[in-house]
Amino acid sequence: MRKSVLILTGILFVLVSACSTNPFTGEKNLNFVSNAELFPVAFQQYDQFLQENKVVSGTQEAAMVTKVGQKIKNAAEAYFKSKGLSQSLEGYQWEYKLVQDPAVNAWCMPGGKIVVYTGIMPIAQNEAGLATVMGHEVAHALLNHGGQRMSAGTIQELGAVGVAAATSGKSETAQQLYQQAYGITTQFGAMLPFSRKHENEADEAGLILMAIAGYNPENAIAFWQRMEANSGGGAPPEFLSTHPSSSTRIRNIKSQIPDAKAAAAKFGVKF
């Protein structure tokens, strides 16, 4: 019992000491993975991905990815500078690539390494649609969501160790039941809501970035409506998903647009 108490106490200490202030939102977040640790690994994985996949260049779509990416980057740097937080972007190495793949997807690795798949371009349709996508993905990187997810995963693993220690005196069947209950509870009660919270944060910050970059954030509504139509209603129930439902997302975005426009107005951008 004493051992389990020590382990659980250690977990609590990690939870408390790992909280840091997010430079973009000013909120306290669980993150004990530094950019200095994360960026080199992300950059290596990005380079490897590009070597193993077909990068599209010399096309209008590729040029649009570069153009929108640059404008989102400039918006991010202007926003952080206005907050006196330019140092938070140290180590970022911005790069934007269009990759031949039918998947309706895009992503941004920690440190500003962005990939847009050709499969999402027909849904993006134009620069504003693409800015919705890239603003969202860049926001994930600026909000340090990668480090937060890694930190949460580590805490979940430590919790499993604590459960094992606390139930070590019980039968093997009982121990398995406790571990299964812990896994289900943390997955549906913590990890999935945690991921959906990240998506909402990235939507909100992405709207600000695209607005500062000169793209009307109202265009995000039409983009997500096209995404919803493209899914054909085949998405899993929200509580089983890492992402909010399309209806929830669209509703949240509508409420976030005024703040995005207000933020852009401070940089002389009005809609």
For 2-265, CATH number? 3.40.390
Annotated catalytic residue 77: no
Is the Cβ–Cβ distance between 244 and 196 less than 8 Å? Answer: yes
Q: Taking Cα atoms as reference points, which of 130, 129, 135 lies closest to residue 206? A: 135
pLDDT of residue 72: 97
To which H or E segment does residue 143 belong? none
Q: Are 54 and 192 in contact (CB under 8 A)?
A: no
Structure pTM? 0.75
- How would you write the pLDDT of the chain (271 residues) with one tens digit per residue? 444 444 444 444 454 445 666 666 677 766 656 778 888 988 999 999 999 999 999 999 999 999 999 999 999 999 999 999 898 899 999 999 999 999 988 988 889 999 999 999 999 999 999 999 999 999 988 887 665 666 555 555 555 555 555 666 666 665 565 455 444 444 444 444 446 677 888 899 999 999 999 999 999 999 999 988 887 655 543 333 455 677 888 999 999 999 999 999 999 999 9
Tell me how far apart the alpha carbons of residues 154 and 240 are, in angstroms, rounded to a whole number. 21
What are the start-end ranges of the E strands in 68-139?
95-99, 106-109, 113-117
30 — phi, psi (to 5°)? -75, 110
Question: Residue 209: exposed, middle, or buried by beta-carbon count in 10 A (0-12, 13-18, 19+)?
Answer: buried
Identify the pLDDT of residue 210: 97
Write down the catalytic residue from 95, 127, 137, 201.
137
246-265 vs 192-212: helix axis angle to the nearest 10?
40
